[in-house]
Amino acid sequence: MLCGPCRLLRASVAPTAALAAALLSSLARCSLQEPKDQVASALSPYFGTKTRYEDVNPGLLSDPEAPQRDPELLEGSCTPVQLVALIRHGTRYPTAKQIRKLRQLHGMLQARGPGDDRPGNASDRGLGAALADWPLWYADWMDGQLVEKGRQDMRQLALRLASLFPALFSRENYSRLRLITSSKHRCVDSGAAFLRGLWEHYHPGLSPPDVSDMECGPPSINDKLMRFFDHCKKFLTEVERNATALYHVEAFKTGPEMQSILKKVAAVLQVP
């Protein structure tokens, strides 16, 4: 099953510093992490809802279609009878709202003159200049749409699952496969890419047909299930429309720890 995107919590923070953090986060996700890169701990890649598969399993960088099997789960020790998966959509463009924020910060960075440099090391000044020179190529039409990397994510995931569970993903069972998705275009497109990956597994070398012509049929759209937060009355009443529900989240975002981070980011980029 394919799930819709996670909702972003709303909070008011220092606009320039928050935009700076957003741009740095966007650049970090766009850059490729090499296997030799150090991480805070062995568990840190699992903490983000947008962590790439290859960041958790670095071996996928060299062979993205190789299945990763738990060595303690030996073949023949158990018989899988059903597989249920809740899968996030593949890599996407920023949303239109995020793109507007990135443009705003990019404009601030480009407006910095030579006299705006504050005391600091050369690497800090170089980072702000590098971000100012970076071509911000995002366009409004992208608005959270799935990118080609996202289609590869889903296609390769399908191939890995088919290799891990050959009995479940046999050609005889293909018509029994059911995918449920939200109506978000990136989720629908992710489901279609997943099915095309399975088609490649069953018919290597052949071009896949339209998903509507496949034996299992296209993904079915069910927003009541996959976007429950838009339809659950209890959630809407007690959380979404409750000004006090996210009190601790707001307190954290406006607390001294977060303010310290925002000040450091603003100082590194040398923006107000």
Helices (H), the chain: 15-30, 53-56, 96-111, 122-133, 148-164, 185-202, 223-226, 233-235, 247-253, 256-269
Residue 58 exposed, middle or buried by CB count within 10 Å (0-12, 13-18, 19+)? middle
Structure tokens at 21: 């953090």
Q: Using CA atoms, how far apart are residues 61 and 17, in angstroms rounded to an integer? A: 33
Rounded to whole angstroms, the Cα distance separating 247 from 197 reads 44
Task: Give CA–CA dist 146/149, Å, rounded.
Answer: 8
The reply to whether 89 belongs to the active site is: yes
H or E stretch covering 64 = none
CA dihedral 58, 64, 66, 71 (to 10 degrees): 20
Supply the residues annotated as catalytic: 89
